[in-house]
Structures are given as C-alpha cells and as structure tokens.
Amino acid sequence: DRKHYFYPDLPKGYQTTQLYHPIIGRGKIDVPLPGGEEFSVRIHHAHLEEDAGKLTHPAGREYSLVDLNRAGTPLIEIVSEADIHSAEQAKAYAQELYLLMTYAGVTHGDLYHGNMRFDVNVSVAKKGSKELGKRTEVKNLNSFKSVERAAEYEINRQIEILEKGDFVTQETRGWNDAKQKTFSQRSKEEAQDYRYMPDADIPPVVLDDIVIESAKSAMPMLPPKYREKWEVLGVDSSVINALLQDKLQAKIISEVQDASDEKTAKRVAHWFASALVSDEEKGAGSTTVNIPLESLIELSKMVEKNELSSTAAKEVFLELLAGNKSSAKQIAEEKNLLQVSDEGAIAKIVDDILAEPASQKAVQDVKAGNDKAIGFLVGQVMKQSKGKANPALAQKLIRERI
C-alpha cells in the first residue's frame, strides 16, 4: 500500500507500507519489570514498510539537515495497544521487544546506528476516566533512556497543559537529548489524511502454512524460554535479565545446564553476571565470549572439590573469558591459585594466628558464643596463606583449638 505525506525525509511523496494486510496480526508480549513484577502489552499488528530519511536539527540554527542514505530500506513496524501506563513500563517494554527482535535475528540491534528505533505515543486522562485524551507521538528514539525520559517529559507536559485549562494538540514531536525535552515537529495526521491506496507496482506475496511452519522450526530460543528454563536455578530475576543482554553468554549458560547440573549452571551464571556488567544501551549483542563448556564445568567441579576458592575461581573465569585457551586447572596452576588442603600446613598457620595478640579478642568472643568472630580468624588465615587455604578446613581447625 502507499501512504502519502509530504515531509523532507520522504522526497517521493509516499511511503510503501502495509495497511490492509499487515504481515503479522494480533499478539501479546509479557514484559518483566526490574522489581520482578510483570505486565502484558497487546500487539495490534506488525507491518513491513520502507524507511524514511533522517533529519538532524543543529542547535541554534534555522535549518535542518536531511540524510537520505537509509531512505527506502525495509523495516518492520510493531504497533502496540495502549497497555503501557508509565515511563518505567515504556522503557521495560522497549527493552523486552529489543531482546525478542535481536534473539530472533530480525535486527542486529545497533541502537546507535538506528537499527531499531522507538516511537512513543503519549496520552493522559483524568484518574478513573476510560477515555484517553489527545495523543502526541515522540518519534525516532534510539535508546532505552530516551524512551523513558521522553515519555516522562511528555506525560508531565500534557498534565501541565490540561491543569491550566488548555488543550493538548495532536502532533508529532521530536526529542532533544541535550535539553532533555520534546519539541513540536508537525501536526499528526489521521489515517484518512494519508490517502492510503494499494500499490499496483508490487504483487501480493502469499505466506502459506509451509513457510510459516518452516520459520517456526528455525526460530532460536527466545528470552521467555530462557527465563522459564532458568527458574530451577534460583537466580534472581534481575541477574537473569542482565545475563540475557548477551546472546552468546545466555546460550553458553543454557548449554552448561544441559551438559551438567543445575548447581554448575547457577555457578557459571553468577560468574558471567559478576564479570560482564551489562550496558543497557549496548543491548543484546555479543561480547564474543566463547568459552568451551568443558572448561566451565571443570572450573565448577574444582570449586566443589575445594581445589579452588570462589575468589580464585572468578580469577580463572576471567582468564577464560579473555580468551585463554588453557584448561581451568592449567590456569589455576600457572597463577598459583590452587587451594591448600594439606591439614598440617594449614594447622601451622592456624596456630600462628591464634598465638597473635591481635587475635585474642576474637578468640574470647568465640568462646563466649559469638560465632561471627570466627570469621575474623578465618580471614586472617586466608590472608596469611594468600587466599590459598581451604577456608572450611581452616574453620574446623580453629574450632578444634578454641
């Protein structure tokens, strides 16, 4: 179909789109919130269309720049229902939609270069009213922060207008990131203003059941399935959402879970979560980590067997993450990280620590029933052994001597 409008980003005067027969019909997306709650957003439809150009408005200048390099390239536009009720929800929805699209391979997800952009429609109404007021559309937001801030600004702007007794103008607005405010671009047209008509130059494409089933079978695991699979790990939802920011790391954790056990998968998940601080604006790309499953499983087993402390294991993990091709055990040996479980060697350190004047208060506290004080003594043993003593064995020997 042809959608007609006149604006500098569309020199030919119409946009090729889908009004009457969109490629995807109705649906629903469940969106997790940072606090662990969840809400649903209904999808009205998704349609294919061609992209327009990019307008840039230099600060303080009386002109705008038009970049037509992306004009005519195909895109998919997802239209959601009015089920989002706050700026926080708008941001969470944008993030979840982004994850779904990148995991499915619909987009590379480079937000900086506009691989995925968000248009936020804002409409406010009095509390309890079922009828929404006039809406404005803030277009071409290219980060999750800008989605949240633009929505927040526009909500407050419209409330202020209505409280003054004025009327909200239905229009398209832009977002000025430097000033953190929206600005008017053009009046918002209704559907009839676009003079939609079928495009006679493009023949219809019929997607039969065979094509649809083929697409379904080729679909990779998506974030909701990862969350469902990782429920048994007992990992906090905020950690899971951070892990999902990188497709490859999510895949590795899932494969460790399949090849080993839940305890190992949980340990590996926490290693990734602590090592890879998620940048929400980077999105679900890949940090190009590709650690062999055998190395991760071996590293976890070394912790279980008390061959490595948790701290030392993280150090070995970072080496693997940096591309070290040696086995976990080889790295631990090279870095002199293997835990000392020789009872005689640890007993000597324990005796030295307990004989020190600085330890006497902690010794008396333990004798008086203050079990927390033993942590100080174990810490001193770990310090003197440079982190290599088996802490469980050290604690056992301390208790025996006290």
- Give one DSSP letter per residue of 335-361, joined into a string: TT-PPB--HHHHHHHHHHHHHSGGGHH
Structure token digits, residue 280: 């929400």
Can you give the pLDDT at residue 279?
A: 46
pLDDT in tens, 161-176: 999 999 999 999 999 9
Q: Give tens-digit pLDDT for 338-354.
A: 887 778 889 999 999 99
Give the pLDDT confidence score for residue 278 in this predicted structure: 41
Distance CA 268, CA 232 (A): 14
Helices (H), 187-246: 209-217, 223-230, 237-243
Please state the φ and ψ torsions of residue 101, each to the nearest 5 degrees: -70, -40
Q: What are the tokens at 185?
A: 């671009």
- Greatest Cα pair distance, the chain, in angstroms, is 93
Sign of CA dihedral 232, 235, 237, 241: negative
Task: Compute the C-alpha angle 275/268/260, nearest 5°.
Answer: 165
Regions of the chain short of the pLDDT cut 70:
189, 191, 276-289
Answer yes or no: pTM beyond 0.85.
no
- What single-letter DSSP state applies at residue 86? S
Amino acid sitting at position 4 = H
Asked if residues 24 and 213 have their Cβ atoms less than 8 Å apart, the reply is: no
Give the alpha-carbon dihedral of 294, 299, 300, 306, to 10 degrees.
140
Alpha-carbon distance of 213 to 108, in angstroms, equals 23
Per the structure block, which two tokens stand in for 130?
Answer: 């079922």
Residue type at 267 in one-letter notation: R
Distance (Å, whole) CA 118 – CA 135: 16
Instruction: Tell me if residue 75 falls in helix, strand or coil.
Output: strand
User: Domain spans of the chain?
Assistant: 2-214, 219-334, 343-401
How many residues are there in the chain? 402
Find all residues with CB under 8 Å of 376, minimum gap 6, and list them: 359, 362
One-letter amino acid of 399: R
343-401 CATH pick, 3.30.60.50, 3.40.50.2000, 3.75.10.10, 1.10.10.410? 1.10.10.410
Region for residue 4 given its phi and psi (left: phi exceeds 0; alpha: psi -120 to 50; beta: otherwise)? beta
Q: What are the φ and ψ backbone dihedral angles of 50, each rounded to 5 degrees? A: -95, 150
